[in-house]
Structure 1
Amino acid sequence: MSAWLPVAPCTPGDCAHHGDAVRPPLAAAGLLVAGCAVTLLGVLCVPAALLLGQTHRDRLIRRWAHTVVRAFGVRIRVTGAAVPSARPSRGELVVADHVSWLDIPLIAAVLPARMLAKSEIRSWPLLGPAATLGGTLFIERDRLRALPDTVRTLAGALGAGSRVAVFPQGSTWCGRGAGGRFRPAAFQAAVDAGALVRPVRIRYRTTRSDAAGAVAFVGDDPLAASLWRVVTAAGLTAEIHVLPQISAVDEPDRRTLARTAQSAVANESANLPPSSVHH
């Protein structure tokens, strides 16, 4: 097993479950169809979206990603630092803990970015070509020798002024406990490019409790099972807390930068008035 291939101790049987109120099957099925339809529509529109300027494309991505999350029956609550309407003047590395496939459209709804994804996605029907066209950066997670090339590619994208989103834990976690540590490779790219790092905290809740189990996509959990748990979980809210930027040039090395970002994600108080709440 590669050192870049961390495996969470989470399993579907232990972590992926929902104990709160559930939707009736017919209503849940309607949300499932709606969510998949909106996702597919966005994928089909990727070539046309590439013809737009960056500002208009970001606006379109935000609206589409927000609609995807809402179509699956999940409310979105955004708190924390204000996100500027324009891209930053230098590259920005967006980093977050990783619980679910929902993390990806949730980040895109607030901070549209090129994603760093496992290379297997490149061969997926329809989604693979769309991800490639959309500027996704791919990593061969089971080949440690490929890691330096990935870091150089990521640094090049950041150096060119792109915003890139990564999940530095390298695997999904159930959201309970400390989770995996932020691995430093992506942060080396930020150091090399003199980029900004934007930590964000993602949490899933219902009105009564933490709802990480409803959205957790861990281990060998089938995607279909995860989708069904999400649409059957009533009152589900996705909270994304945008934290202040960290300048990579102000940190002595990649490991310190990784620890600073993870500490911000894990510890910075979330008890702030929401900058926006979408119902």
Structure 2
Amino acid sequence: MTSALPAPGRIAPWGWPLIAVRLSAMLAMLVACTALYYIAAPFASRNPVPRWFLRSIAAIAGVRLSVRGTHPARRTFFLANHVSWIDIPAVAGLTGSAFVAHDGLAQIGPLRWLCGLNDTVFIARHERRSVATQADQVRSALRKASALTIFPEGTTSYGDETLAFKSSLLSALEDDAEAAPIPVQPIWLDYGPESRDIAWVGSEPGLDNAFRILARLRPVELTVHFLPPLGPQDRADRKRMAAAARAAIDAAREDQG
């Protein structure tokens, strides 16, 4: 997606000062946390500063988090639905998770550097020939990270339904003795009745969506549902894992409705 300034009519005049204040606060947080990151780096195998930073970014953006359920261990493989860029700071702030991201983000130098501080794994999802390499990258990241999150839909949705889960990256968990003890846990990211207003979908440029969120006076209500980890029968193969995780999210949505 390309970035462009939002159409003037989409953001109220009072929204621009709010955007400026929030961007200034985010920049100040970035400067402070960058210094803290390099100070902490020699003393921590898993640097806690990216988690603090991303949790702060969510708060500055006006996100009000609620949590349902629990995640069973620090080292967990999360499978989540995907609605907005807010998903990443929210989940990382709660769990300290690293993420698997499309390699298009890696083409933006500052963003690649920032993602790298949180051990982001960049993959070329559009290249079917590299599926085995992608699985190896995920497998390696699981060994290093305390937690890892993927968005198996492969794109964002409006949040009122779950798109089909792609299973290729889940092959990293097949026939891997080291991965066997790692819980595989679905997460339902629930933005409630305003989900369609929050979602970044279609042809909307990313900057437009970010400014729309930052211009809101109302908080962004996000409930993160940590659903029960998949059982052994649902981890028999990658396709079963993908289907079971999607079904768990859909069942949680139906129960909530």
SS at 1:50's partner residue?
helix
SS at 1:101's partner residue?
coil
Residue 48 of structure 1 deviates from its aligned partner by 4.1
CA RMSD, 1 decimal? 2.9
Matched, 1:150 2:134: yes
Residue 186 of structure 1 deviates from its aligned partner by 2.3
Residue 166 of structure 1 deviates from its aligned partner by 0.5
Residue 247 of structure 1 deviates from its aligned partner by 4.8
Residue 41 of structure 1 deviates from its aligned partner by 4.9
Q: Aligned to 2:87, which of 103, 109, 112?
A: 103
In structure 2, how many angstroms separate the alpha carbons of the residues matched to 1:228 and 1:197?
Answer: 34
In structure 1, how many angstroms separate the alpha carbons of the residues matched to 2:241 and 2:143?
Answer: 17
Conserved 8 A contact 1:43-1:126: no
Residues 160, 29 of structure 1: alpha-carbon distance in 2 compared, 3 angstrom cutoff? closer
Written as runs of structure 1 = structure 2, the 5 A alignment for 1:57-206 is 57-58=47-48, 60-81=49-70, 84=73, 87-88=74-75, 92-159=76-143, 162-176=146-160, 178-191=161-174, 192=176, 193-194=179-180, 195-205=182-192
Counterpart AA for 1:189 = A
Residues 255, 223 of structure 1: alpha-carbon distance in 2 compared, 3 angstrom cutoff? same
Q: Which ranges in structure 1 are unaligned for 5 or more consecutive residues?
A: 1-16, 273-279
SS at 2:99's partner residue?
strand
Counterpart AA for 1:196 = P
Cα-to-partner distance string for 1:183-241 (whole Å, 9 max, x where unaligned) = 11122212333232121111124xxxx11123211233222211121123313212111
Partner of 1:13: none
Residues 39, 230 of structure 1: alpha-carbon distance in 2 compared, 3 angstrom cutoff? farther
Kindly tell me the number of residue pairs found equivalent between the two proteins: 241
Give the helix-richer structure, 1 or 2.
2
SS at 2:94's partner residue?
coil
Counterpart AA for 1:69 = A
Q: Give the TM-score of the pair, scaled to structure 1.
A: 0.75
Matched, 1:267 2:235: no
Matched, 1:27 2:18: yes
Residues 179, 160 of structure 1: alpha-carbon distance in 2 compared, 3 angstrom cutoff? same
Matched, 1:224 2:214: no
- Greater RCO, CA 8 A, separation 6+: 1
In structure 2, how many angstroms separate the alpha carbons of the residues matched to 1:261 and 1:51?
Answer: 37
Residue 252 of structure 1 deviates from its aligned partner by 2.2
Residue 144 of structure 1 deviates from its aligned partner by 0.8
Residue 105 of structure 1 deviates from its aligned partner by 0.5
Conserved 8 A contact 2:121-2:141: no
Counterpart AA for 2:135 = V
Conserved 8 A contact 2:162-2:249: no
Matched-pair identity in %: 24
Residues 196, 248 of structure 1: alpha-carbon distance in 2 compared, 3 angstrom cutoff? farther
In structure 2, how many angstroms separate the alpha carbons of the residues matched to 1:229 and 1:242?
Answer: 28
Q: Give the TM-score of the pair, scaled to structure 2.
A: 0.81
